[in-house]
Amino acid sequence: MKYAFSTLGVPGMPMRDVARLATATGYQGVELRAHPEEPIHPGSSASERADAVAEFAREGIEILTVAGYARVAAPGEDLPVHEEIGGLLRLARDLGASYIRVFPGGGEQSADEADATAARRLGVAAEHAADMGVRILMETHDSHRTGAAAARVLGPVGHKNAGALWDVMHTWLGEETPAASHAVLAPQLGYTQVKDIASTEDKTPLALGAGVLPLADCVAQLVAADEGHADTWLCWEYEKRWYPQAADLPPMLVAGREYLEGLVAAGR
């Protein structure tokens, strides 16, 4: 098993410091939030991209994902969505990242309409992703927060370069058990995002294991499915950017990794 953390937990931190933080706390990778307010995003220059690659290479840290905000099920024309995805794919290619993250974002459309829109767009985008050696992962989120909802989109796409990102908070909020989530996501699963919160009403991020999310059950599903091998990733998404009152992430990173390692060991 490999461990990563999202830069959503350290908003605005320079890439050199992110890479060094990962090394110092025993993580093998990072998920880069690709928003214009961050140091690296689709508008970054070629030199900025090359500098970021060099910083992470120097520390031996993998850039796992470019976490974008394209919404593949959003109402409206396809072209702006494809252009946004294209920018994320080019950034991921230049950084050597394995994945880009997209959201569903179906809004108030009917489930059938949102599913069809997302599947159509992902089917086209997956072909471009394959050419760049990148995989598009749709996160369990917003209009498609459960594994079952994500599978309604990804099943019809049927392309190896389109898959799922399992955000365990959203499937839990969707009242889906870890076993049910994993069962439908497993064929398309890229990796899993872990986090913890106090309750459905209070989603302020907490240290892993300090809240109510069924992290042990989620990790046990991965291990039981023989996915606990060296290429399986768990990524801690600590949403400090949205909850500035939350405790700072860096002092918790070592304990968080050790907590996840304990869950993996217990599941074997």
pLDDT tens sequence across 160-200: 999 999 999 999 999 999 999 999 999 999 999 999 999 99
Contact 21, 10 (CB under 8 A): yes
Digit-coded pLDDT (tens) for 141-163: 999 999 999 999 999 999 999 99
Q: How confident is the model at residue 231 (pLDDT cuts 50, 70, 90)?
A: confident
Identify whether 230 is part of a domain. Answer: yes
Per the structure, the count of domains in the chain is 1
Identify whether 173 is part of a domain. Answer: yes
List Cα–Cα distances, 247 to 205, 237, 240, 252, in angstroms: 8, 14, 8, 9
List Cα–Cα distances, 59 to 56, 180, 190, in angstroms: 5, 38, 24
Identify whether 264 is part of a domain. Answer: no
Identify whether 20 is part of a domain. Answer: yes
Q: What is the mean pLDDT of residues 97-125?
A: 97
**Residues spanned by the domain of 29:** 2-254
Digit-coded pLDDT (tens) for 39-71: 999 999 999 999 999 999 999 999 999 999 999
- Sequence-distant (≥ 6) Cβ neighbours of residue 189 within 8 angstroms: 163, 164, 166, 182, 227
Q: Say whether pLDDT at 228 is over 70.
A: no
| Residue 250 DSSP class | G
Identify whether 267 is part of a domain. Answer: no
Q: What is the pLDDT of residue 230?
A: 60
Query: What's the pTM value of the predicted model, to 2 decimals?
Result: 0.97
> What is the average pLDDT score of the chain?
96
Q: Say whether pLDDT at 76 is over 70.
A: yes
Digit-coded pLDDT (tens) for 236-253: 999 999 999 999 999 999
- Domain containing 17 — which CATH number? 3.20.20.150
Q: Say whether pLDDT at 131 is over 80.
A: yes
